[in-house]
Amino acid sequence: MHIEPGVVDGAKIVLSYATAAAAFGLAGKMALDTIRKDGGVVSLAARSVITTALVFTFFEVLPHHPVGVSEVHLILGSTLFLIFGGGAAAIGLALGLLMQGLFFAPFDLPQYGMNVTTLLVPLYAMGLLAGKIIPEKTAYKDVKYLQALALSTSYQGGIVVWVAFWALYGHGFAASNLMQVASFGAAYMTVIILEPLVDLAVLAIAKNASKLTDNGLFHGRLHNAAA
């Protein structure tokens, strides 16, 4: 979902600084929720190291292809959320994206504000949705396919909406730009087919390896229903 260089440039890029600040505010809220309710600072820090390494790996190792105005990535945002919680997922997405820019794609750094907004705002919205569709008495290891599909759809759909916003904000409603936005959206939404299956596979592994995953390195609700 990397916004390609030149999609938004000049004075218009200032808006991305404001949206990134808001996105970091949401990430901060998720992190504070983890500290207060799910293991404290040490657990959040440990999980964030893991999620940062995973996100960096997702961006660099998993297949990714440029389509239209951006790239199609398998980010696995819903997987990170279910396994490590919203706070660690948000920190991992922000730092993993930054590390990729610093070490492998410096040409992406001017777009960092746009890209981090595109990752974090849908994550926060997905967390709100999870609170609505997953009953409090359900541990995340017992999430069903339709619930995982709803989470993945909301996250990936949010990414597509943000990418479309940046593209239209940068280049307007010309037919060629609309076609590129549509081609990206169509390609990216195919991720929805795969991500819920990944979610369930990872959750099944966690469920069968509870001796290794029922601890502070993982989201408390992975194995235990909400208090």
User: Regarding the domain delimited by 10-222, which CATH topology (the fold level of the hierarchy) does it fall under?
Assistant: Arp2/3 complex 21 kDa subunit ARPC3 (1.10.1760)
pLDDT bucket at 185, cuts 50 / 70 / 90: confident
C-alpha to C-alpha distance for 223 and 105, rounded to whole angstroms: 38
pLDDT at 84: 97
Kindly report, residue by residue over 143-159, the tens digit of the pLDDT.
999 999 899 889 988 99
Domain extents in the chain: 10-222
For the segment 62-79, the average pLDDT, to the nearest whole number, is 82
pLDDT of residue 150: 92
Q: Is the pLDDT of residue 1 over 80?
A: no
Amino acid 166: pLDDT: 95
Q: How many whole angstroms separate alpha carbon 196 and alpha carbon 147?
A: 9
Burial of 155 from C-beta contacts in 10 A (0-12 / 13-18 / 19+): buried
